[in-house]
Structure formats: structure tokens, C-alpha cells
Amino acid sequence: MESPTEYLSFDLSQRGSIRTVTGSSTSIGSHVAIPMGPTAGGTTRTPRSSRTMKCINPADVERYMRKIVIKPRKGSLEIKSMTRKFEGELLPDDWVACAHPEGALYFHNTSKNIFTEAYLYDQEMFELVTSFAEELRDSLRSIGESLTGLELVVEVFQDVNDELVCGYYLADNEARALLWLEPYDAEDMLWEFEGETSMTHLKVEMESRYWTHCELFPNHRDVPDEILNELMGIMMHSSIDAMTSELSLSIYSPQETRDMLDLVERVRTIGRANGASACVVGRLFSLYGHNRFLHNFGQHGARLASDQSIYGRNIHPPRSYLLKMFSVLLFSAPNGYLKSLEETWLDRTLKYSAWKDLMMRLFGEREQLLLLSTVMLTANVSFLAIQSVDQGDSYRSPAQIASYFSMIASIGSIIFGLLLVRKGMSLTREVAAVTGAYLLSDFNRRMEILSIIYALPYGLFMWAMTLFLLAFSFTTFELDVLFHSTGLGLRLFLAMSWAAIFALLVWFILPDRDGMGKNIVLTFFQWKFPESWTMQCWRRSKEVPSPTSAIV
């Protein structure tokens, strides 16, 4: 992403007041004194000039993108008699290996409050991380700052030239903020919000990123009652708001929120729980905070309802000729589906709960259409078996021809219904994120295309019904017209019907010319998530171009 010529930036001069407390653990929202002494073990430091230093934020931590491959076991492993302790390799003083509640391995320097996911059992990597921390200490001294009360996160990754880059950020527990030694391009945080942004509005997203940091590195943290009460208050209001308003901005249904509230309440009794408590609290704070940021929380012109555009956009823009044409051909079904889809979106933001409800309704509708289309196909087969309808091998009656077309439409409805049912079985936020990614580049046109796809099973079924009614009417009124079975006109019309079904099917399932799977369905359901979406892929991604899209 190219940085704009003007952008908001942060450095340590914006750091809030710091309160230092003593203790061996860190409470969320409070500080611990963090002395920054020399690295244990007297390791050789890599010169700063040989490494690149980069400002990052918690969304840049590549925990879910490392794809580390372990070697297969080639022999047996013997456990010695009376073995009680199963310990791994030793780390230098003050460094401990931590297992995140999800299972990820990270390392924590307990005296200096340094966190990293770099594999410190590798001596070269250990030297790189510790030398970088010392360089950071020197830089802080040069500007009159210290690391007292801060947490330092170091992320080592490779750039496009396969050179090692040291990314870092500082987390201030008192201010619930992230800090850097140099100006930081805040566009990485603002890309989902299109409007003008004030510092107080940016603070909302800054806190969301801070809570993501707490979620990433939770094992040493306690959760004070005041923090827990704050979170439960947010969740309680969200649940009540969703129950009392059809236009609520809540990101979860009332039942989901109540279930989570019951679990969050148990944090009081279970304590730290190896980081599980702080991880849960951090994740929920992060999600609710980001939702507030997207809705301009606490700002002039905040969004208060799910149908309120803070940019003055029309939720139902003018329809294209493509949609108008297909609406005529498919009995106005695309118009109805498009209206329903548009109501789940507002200002490039997808409301997940509304989208999920719509997808569940469409899923049930498709199952019913599958059953009805199957019945219609059976009815056509039975109708063609009637002796009075069959006029012999060489000729076809209008009733037969209409029934043929009805069967083709029924088969098409079944095919597209099965494909949509199969693809619509997953209603996760990941799938919702893929939906947003597909619609992103050309929102109105792709929304119309999606509504046409959803309308195909219904539209083809209605054609099957209409043609069967026409066939039955021809038989009832004994229309005495025969068409030669080998006639060019009849064969041409049948071929055109099959070709139309086949063309729609190709449009539906085949990848694009470059083979990257960017067509409607493959893009819609198989799009690869950008790296920064992987942790909570429904939230944010820096890789997606403008116009922005978010999912809440």
C-alpha cells in the first residue's frame, strides 16, 4: 500500500502519563516497571546497519501465516525411568517460553517485558532479537525516553528481497496505546473508514489494536475487576440494544452475547488460567472497539442505526441494464435479492448478523426450490409418458415441446440450486470476509451479479412451471399442430436452451483466463485472506484496495 503524502502519525511524544507499580505480573490497563538492562548471556550484537527496523502494529504479527513445517519422526523416543519433568531447551536468564491458549509459541523476557515470536532456541535469532532490543534502548535514551511501563514486541520477518527485517511496537498499558520511535503512518489503521478522522476517533481504533496486543501475548496478565466490568457493560448494552431495536449496530445476536457474557463472568473466579482469561477479554475488547471505530463512535455524526449512512449514500443505487434485463427474464427475482443484499451493507460495511440471517433464509429457500424442481421434473417425465401426448417418432406436438423446455429449466434449477446449497453451507465470518473481498472492487456491479446468481434457481423453476402449464394447456385445448422431430427450427430452439444453461454454468463455476479463480463463485468462496486478516479475518486487511469494506 502506498503511503499518502499527508497522514496522521504517532511517536513517543504522544505518550500518556505513566504510573509505575511493582509486581511480577501485569494487569490489563495497568503498568509494571520494566528495567531495560543488558541482554543476558553477553551475546554478540548484530550491527544496526545490517538490519532494517520497521514500525508495525499487532495486526502485522504473522502468527497465523508462518506455516512452519516440522520434520517427520524417523526413530523411537525412549522415556527414562522415573522421569517426572519434561523440559525443553534452556533459555538465558529472564527469558521464558510461553504457550498461547490457542497453542502458539512465543517468548517473554520477564524482567524487560519483551515479547517475540522469533524462535529464540536458534542462537542467531536470539542474538538478533536481543541486539535489536538494545539498539532500541539506545535510541530511547537519545531522545530522553525510557521503556519504563512499556511492553516491547519484536517481530522478525523477511522482506521481498529475503532480507531479515525487525519490526517493533511499544504497548502502553496505562494509555491503552501503541508507541513508536518515529512517525507512524496511521493509514494502516484507518483504511476501513472513509471519512475525516480526528485524534479522538483514532484513539478508539488505537485501543482496539492495543487489545489485540493483549490477546496475542496474554499469559502474564491479570484481569482486574474494573476492566471486566467495563467489558460486561459494553456487552450487556449490545445485547439489550439488539433485542429492542431492529436497526441495532450490535455485532452479535442477543443469544450469542448472552452466552459470551456467561463465560466472561467466570473470569472472576478462574483467575489468569494460563492466559485464557486475558486472551478472551482482549479479543472481545478488540472486536467491540473496532466496531465502534467503524461507526464513528463518540464523534460528531456518529452512526446510530444500521440503515444510517454517515456519508450520505443511497442504500439502493440506480439499477443497470444488465439487472433490468435479467429481472425481466427471471420474474423480477434479482431485484428482490438485490434489495435484500443491499440492506445488509451500508457505507461499504457488511453487518454480519444481517448477512447471516439472509444467507440462512436463502439456504432454506434453495432447499425448497430443489424439492419443487425435482417434483416438476418428475411431472414432466410422467406427462411425456401419456400416450395422447406422444405423437410418434417423427413428429412432436406443442405440448411435448413445451414439456421438453420445462424439463431443461427444471434441470437448470436443480443444478444451480445444488451448487448454491453446497457453497452456502458455511456461514462463518471468514466466508463473510470473502464476500466483502469479492464485492470490494466494483461494488454495485458485483452486487447485481450476485443477486442474479441467487435468482437463477427461482427464475428457472418459474420458467419450468410456466412451460409445464403451457404444455398442459396445449393438451387440454387439443392444439392440432405437429413439428417434425428432425426440423432445424425445433433442434435450434432446444440447442439454444441447453446452451443458455451451459453458459450460465460456465460463468458460475469456471475460473478466469489467468487461472487465479477470480470469477463469481470461486472468488466468492475461495479467496485467500490477506495476512493481516488471518487472525480475525472479518475485521481488517491492509492489502485490500479502495474503496474500503469492513465486516461487523
Tens of pLDDT, residue by residue over 311-320, are: 887 767 788 9
- pLDDT in the model for residue 433: 67
The count of other CB atoms within 10 Å of the CB of residue 116 is: 27
- pLDDT in the model for residue 49: 38
Q: What are phi and psi of 169, to 5 degrees?
A: -155, 160
H-helix or E-strand spanning residue 456: helix 443-476
C-alpha closest to that of 278 among 28, 63, 104, 59: 28
- pLDDT in the model for residue 13: 42
Would you kindly state where each structural domain of the chain is located, as residue ranges? 1-65+89-191, 196-312, 321-551
What is residue 202's three-state secondary structure? helix
Query: Do residues 427 and 359 lie in contact, with contact meaning Cβ atoms separated by under 8 Å?
Result: yes
All three cell numbers of 376, joined, read 416438476
All three cell numbers of 106, joined, read 512465543
Whole-prediction pTM: 0.76
Question: What is the distance between the alpha carbons of residues 348 and 309, in angstroms, rounded to a whole number?
Answer: 10
Positions in the chain whose pLDDT score sits under 50? 1-11, 13-24, 30-50, 511-548
Q: Which residues contact 417 (CB under 8 A, 6 or more apart)?
A: 366, 369, 370, 373, 457
Q: How far is CA 349 from CA 9, 157, 301, 308, 445, in A?
A: 25, 31, 17, 11, 16
- The 10 Å CB-count burial string (b at 16+, else e) for 529-540 is bbbbbbbbbbbb
46 alpha-carbon distance from chain centroid = 38
- pLDDT in the model for residue 35: 32
The beta strands (E) that lie in 344-465 are given as 345-346, 349-350, 395-396
